[in-house]
Chain A
Amino acid sequence: MTTKPEMTAAEIASAVAARKMSAFDATEAALARIKQHDGILNSFTDVTADRARAKARAIDAEIAAGKEIGPLAGVPFAVKNLFDVAGLPTRAGSKINRDRAPAKRDATLIERMEAAGAVLVGALNMGEYAYDFTGENVHDGPSRNPHDTTRMTGGSSGGSGSAVGGALVPIALGSDTNGSIRVPSSFCGIFGLKPTYGRLSRARSFPFVASLDHLGPFARSVTDLALAYDVMQGPDAEDSACTTRGLEPTLPLLANPVSGLRIAIAGGYFQNNVFPEAVEAVGRVAKALGATQVVDMPEAARARAAAYVITTTEGASLHLDRLRKRPNDFDPAVRDRLIAGAMVPASMVDRAQKFRRWYRAQLAEIFKSVDVLLAPATPCTAPKLGQVNFNLDGVELPVRANIGIHTQPISFIGLPVVAVPVPLEPLPIGVQIIAAPWREDIALRVAYALEKLGVASAPTPRGL
């Protein structure tokens, strides 16, 4: 059996398990595609070909010996370069971190993916220290959008969006503090899951904002997203925020009907500051699901402001010593934001964290009468690389600061979200399927229904 570029993880794993394809051939196909296209996409910063081939051979040997294999056997995947990969310094998009000693052990989520049979093929480009919504990086160059390589991938998990959107790998892992999984999913036309805060271990990944950081998967299908999410669940004493809840597999629930779910459209703030394509995408999703009720999330603008304040101050605290000792080795835009963050009075941060409690209670009330909220993932499709401003409702606004305005109020209180790609022309755009805490199963179920209805799908990359 030959491989084809857009095989899903489920298709590869099924073919490998049935001995129609070897894990080695699946891995070689991914490595060849990376070699063919990554010169343009710039999604990988490290290709771990030797490691990947060794792992693939080991899986094939297990199959030959009749041993039981995992649900992702032979599936190539890659990770944002803030995940520890044994043998590589964890650069987190920075120049400074390249001086770190090579990681001694993989991040927990890599270990769990590989325990399920997946094959790590490399580490991915990202915005410096994850303080980014564009996917641009002054040290490594920008990751490029697979549908139009003159455009942004979105960030900060830009390489993850580019690698999956360009079908170099079927699954990638990334991080999301304020939108860094959902924004690249939107711009690159793929599915992304930002789980509930604390659901997936962050052990041995480089942090940004401890009280907002999440890790999660990207994929070209909802089944692949659920496959990856399910094998990565589980408590981990090495991440103090990681939940002790038991495993809650979502894959068996994907095809359950959505007809009984109470689905509403996020109103007010989420219907403002959007381009027509975002309105069109939310409208298509709502129509397909029969959702007509509009629900306002109170004080969403203030929630976004509070997330901004917590991010800039906690980020500044994390990097304070590097700002003192190596300020010229930062991306200047990141450095100047972090220095300003160090100067925000502590009382403002405490106010923001207290507001977070209040806002969470308001949303908990909403989720008593609603199961799912729909909102844009980004206000627009992918802007041009280097674009500084866009014109929204006649107002000139900075692109960088406004890409994440619809994702920040959601991750602020850790709600689980699946970003689904709506394949508009000429570029795709994402919609957030937002559920109550710990109800990833519901968000994935709705995403799966949209995929089956043909409303959400990952378009074939046209920029390659």
Chain B
Amino acid sequence: MAEPLDDYIDAVSKALALPVEEAWRPAVRANLEVSLRLSRLVDEFALPDETEPAPIFTV
């Protein structure tokens, strides 16, 4: 049975010309699930529209 992320992995793999062999798929899917779960944690945090990205400490 296909996992929920499999269609997405197939589509992005094709769009980026990035090979994903079947043997790698479970690990890629597991890693993507972690990345998306952590992305959601960041996404849920409301920020003002004016927020600028990434600081670099310069004088």
Contacts and interface: CB of A to CB of B under 8 A. Distances in A.
Contacts of A327: 19, 21
Nearest to A312: B35
Interface stretch (A163-171, A255-263, A265-273, A337-345): A337-345
B45 A299 contact: yes
B55 A343 contact: no
B29 to A, nearest CB: 8
Contacts of A351: 39, 42-43, 47
Interface string A384-396: 0000000000000
B59 A244 contact: yes
Which one of B21, B24, B27, B42 has the greatest number of beta carbons of chain A within 10 Å?
B42
B1 interface: no
A339 B30 CA distance: 11
B41 interface: yes
A354 B53 contact: yes
A345 B36 CA distance: 9
Nearest to B54: A353
Contact of A320 (B16, B20, B24, B32): B16
A341 B39 contact: no
Contact of B20 (A244, A339, A352, A437): A339
A345 B35 CA distance: 10
Q: How large is the interface on A (under 10, 10 to 19, 20 to 34, 35 or more residues)?
A: 35 or more
Contacts of B27: 332-333, 336
A360 B47 CA distance: 13
B1 to A, nearest CB: 21
A79 B27 CA distance: 32
Contacts of B43: 348, 351
B36 A357 contact: no
A236 to B, nearest CB: 14
Nearest to B32: A340
Interface of A: prevailing SS: helix
Given A211-B54, A343-B9, A354 B47 contact: yes
Residue among B19, B28, B35, B43 with the highest chain A CB neighbour number at 10 A: B35
Interface in A423-447: 437-438
Interface size, B (range): 35 or more
A448 B35 CA distance: 39
A211 to B, nearest CB: 6
A340 B56 contact: no
B55 A414 contact: yes
A305 B41 contact: yes
A196 B39 contact: no
B56 A335 contact: no
Contacts of A279: none
B2 interface: no
Given A309-B39, A320-B18, A358-B47, A197 B56 contact: yes
A358 B39 CA distance: 16
Given A353-B54, A414-B55, A309 B42 contact: yes
The 6 A-B residue pairs with the shortest CB-CB distance in the complex, in nearest-first order: A353-B53, A340-B31, A305-B38, A348-B39, A336-B27, A340-B32
13 contacts: A198-B58, A243-B59, A305-B42, A312-B35, A332-B24, A339-B20, A341-B35, A343-B9, A351-B42, A351-B47, A357-B55, A358-B45, A358-B51
Given A327-B19, A354-B51, 20 more contacts: A211-B54, A243-B57, A243-B58, A327-B21, A336-B27, A339-B18, A340-B32, A341-B35, A343-B12, A343-B32, A344-B35, A350-B53, A351-B47, A355-B42, A356-B53, A357-B55, A360-B55, A413-B55, A414-B57, A438-B57
Interface of B: 8-9, 12-13, 16-21, 24, 27-29, 31-32, 34-36, 38-39, 41-43, 45, 47, 51-59
Interface of A: 196-198, 211, 241, 243-245, 299, 301-302, 305-306, 308-309, 312, 320, 323-324, 327, 332-333, 335-337, 339-345, 348, 350-358, 360, 401, 413-414, 437-438
